[in-house]
């Protein structure tokens, strides 16, 4: 069951470390690290890789219940951790400029992270085993039905926004590679 908040604390610690490194680069260069330079690119690439891991690995594990690749609760914690740290790194990658497609992608990123917090809250309201299966009979039938309905509604919002985020991110990456790298 996902009742603790270890993944949230770990993500917070990583965010502090990343912020410290960002601050150190800011101190050394006396300017906000540009998205197009080595440090900015590194933040964007690593953050995007974490976001891809967030999307793909947890989804694969969730859909292959016959495979024993660890407990679902551990995978959900990994999903939450990478879903917080990756977007934070991508946010730092923006150099605090939110123009055009990159701005839209950042907006999608913020919306999906907020949606993830809402989903985590709903998910923790439903009693589950360590494998992520619902435990029947622990909540009143009306409360369980309502929680399931909320979770289904949340999925209908969270998943399409996630798809839009990754489509816009891939277009942004393609355009950045084309205009900033290949045309140089």
Provide φ and ψ at 160, rounded to 5°: -65, -35
Domain extents for the chain? 6-182
Could you tell me the mean pLDDT of each successive run of 10 residues in the chain, 184 residues long? 72 95 94 87 92 84 73 82 93 87 86 86 67 60 78 87 90 85 70
Per DSSP, the three-state class of 134 is strand
Strand partners, 37: none
Query: Distance of alpha carbon 3 from its chain centroid, rounded?
Result: 19
Query: Distance of alpha carbon 80 from its chain centroid, rounded?
Result: 7
pTM above 0.85, yes or no: no
**What is the per-residue pLDDT for 2?**
45
**What is the per-residue pLDDT for 65?**
67
């Amino acid at each position: 069951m996902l009742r603790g908040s270890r993944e949230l604390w770990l993500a917070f610690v990583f965010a502090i470390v990343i912020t410290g490194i960002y601050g150190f680069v800011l101190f050394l260069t006396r300017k906000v690290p540009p998205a197009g330079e080595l440090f900015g690119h590194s933040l964007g690439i690593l953050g995007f890789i974490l976001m891809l891991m967030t999307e793909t690995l947890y989804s694969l594990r969730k859909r292959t219940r016959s495979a024993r690749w660890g407990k679902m609760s551990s995978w959900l914690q990994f999903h939450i951790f990478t879903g917080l740290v990756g977007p934070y790194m991508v946010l730092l990658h923006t150099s605090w400029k939110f123009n055009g497609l990159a701005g839209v992608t950042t907006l999608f990123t913020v919306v999906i992270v907020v949606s993830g917090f809402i989903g985590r809250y709903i998910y923790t309201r439903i009693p589950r085993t360590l494998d992520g299966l619902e435990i029947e009979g622990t909540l009143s039938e009306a409360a369980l039905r309502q929680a399931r309905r909320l979770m289904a509604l949340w999925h209908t919002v969270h998943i399409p926004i996630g798809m839009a985020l990754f489509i816009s991110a891939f277009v942004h990456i393609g355009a950045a590679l084309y205009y900033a790298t290949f045309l140089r």
